[in-house]
Chain A
């Protein structure tokens, strides 16, 4: 059991998302930074879709009511277990009664508290993710509040090792101070925009506005104009899709995006880069970089290789500990 001692608004239970119900209007929800969740689960040797707590308002404080191994991924920042400072991206084991405090990250925007076996809330429509707008899934369909008790499978795994965060392991070209480069594939309506607007889309530094959340990121940095007004029929929307409402400033759809919409589509962030946006903070800047299908697939391969590598390290580390413990036992006898 985990008890929430202190939380801000909109921290919630999330897994990798709810798939297969889009045709009924149910968005996938799920972790905004799915890579951080997958890394956490890989380090703990959890199932890839085990649920975690997504922390996006800080500080967040929980008490572990039994011994359990955990890892905090996503950003990087100050973590304390009781009085002890601990590292993000490292597997740590807590004792019964230990209090974990997750403070504002210095790198990134969202932190993921992954625990051994995952957060055990009931599955709704095949997922443990909180569908905030629909008010179902996760912990009673709502954000976490002080005093909530979350069941977790629990147990301990070898600790004291970790992973290099993807922000360091998966460098992309043009990564600049306070500017995140996102690789995007032009979408259906790209050529409907004026030539000047198309040029501006690539050249501008787009700032992430305060009107950004799990539904989408609203950007500012100039208005994009169509050559002629268009009336679009509602079509399927996925996270990463960049739409341009009549005012002209783009919105990037994120995990809680509506499943369908009707604004003109200029481009889509490739799967491999969606997590970068989820970790970009309000007020920071985005630069779009054009890419094609083949580049998008290669980028995803890099991400998969990185994840597989973490999984291998976790397995190897466990094996080496077993061997060492076996050696110790041998000496004693």
Chain B
């Protein structure tokens, strides 16, 4: 078996400084991964690329990820390299897309039973629980993408000082609405179930309701600010 895959040979491994990584996921989907750091500017270019792709007749669905974009074709390309070339050119020329999202003020009940990992996060970060809460509330977060489970938002904006590794043993039944930190990311769990992120609080917001229109509470480009409704440590 030889490792001759033209698309992979032509692209650098992983993320290089300036070249996107483009590859097929099966015959019907393609993944575009932006080079460079996870910044809002980069994500805004992903959103611009998302719109340009949605306008193509051969693309049925576009799904933004964190500085990447998955395309699902209605007609699978016979020559994926041609599509990849188009994507590289679009990436190089498209301006950032600024979305005027809504602002959600999210009340959090920090700590207590539903935020039981708050002391662990504080200990890992070498600060008091109050400092964790203060730093968590400080930034304006941006919803970069939705995914994994219905209504879950990938947020940009967590203070890097709060980055805390995921738990090696996940909570088996973390409630939907749990306010979390997983590695360098902040989140709000959208479904009740197993979850390896650290719980620091809880909100009553319902992230997803199939009867609602639109069903997901957050949309790409929305902004979120957390504030303390109560603190229990």
Contact = CB atoms under 8 A, between A and B. Distances in A.
B26 A294 contact: no
Interface string B138-170: 000000011111111010000000000000000
- Report the interface size class on chain B: 35 or more
B26 A268 contact: yes
Contacts, number: 157
A318 to B, nearest CB: 31
Contact of A236 (B13, B147, B191): B147
Contacts of A20: 61
A327 interface: no
A124 B147 contact: no
Interface stretch (A23-31, A38-46, A58-66): A23-31
B26 A133 contact: no
Given A19-B61, A24-B214, A233-B65, A187 B23 contact: yes
B126 interface: no
B101 interface: no
Most buried by A among B65, B67, B69: B65
A297 to B, nearest CB: 6
A134 B149 contact: yes
A297 B149 contact: no
Given A134-B191, A185-B27, A187-B25, A234 B148 contact: yes
A235 B146 contact: no
B108 interface: no
Contacts of B13: 191-192
A134 B151 CA distance: 10
B63 to A, nearest CB: 4
Interface stretch (B28-36, B90-98, B221-229): B28-36
25 contacts: A23-B63, A23-B220, A25-B146, A25-B147, A25-B150, A25-B151, A124-B210, A133-B191, A134-B149, A134-B191, A185-B24, A190-B8, A198-B3, A230-B14, A235-B65, A235-B66, A236-B68, A236-B70, A238-B26, A241-B25, A259-B148, A260-B63, A260-B65, A260-B154, A293-B80
Interface of A: 19-26, 124-125, 131, 133-134, 136-137, 185-188, 190-192, 198-199, 202, 230, 233-236, 238, 240-241, 258-261, 265, 268-271, 290, 292-294, 296-297, 300
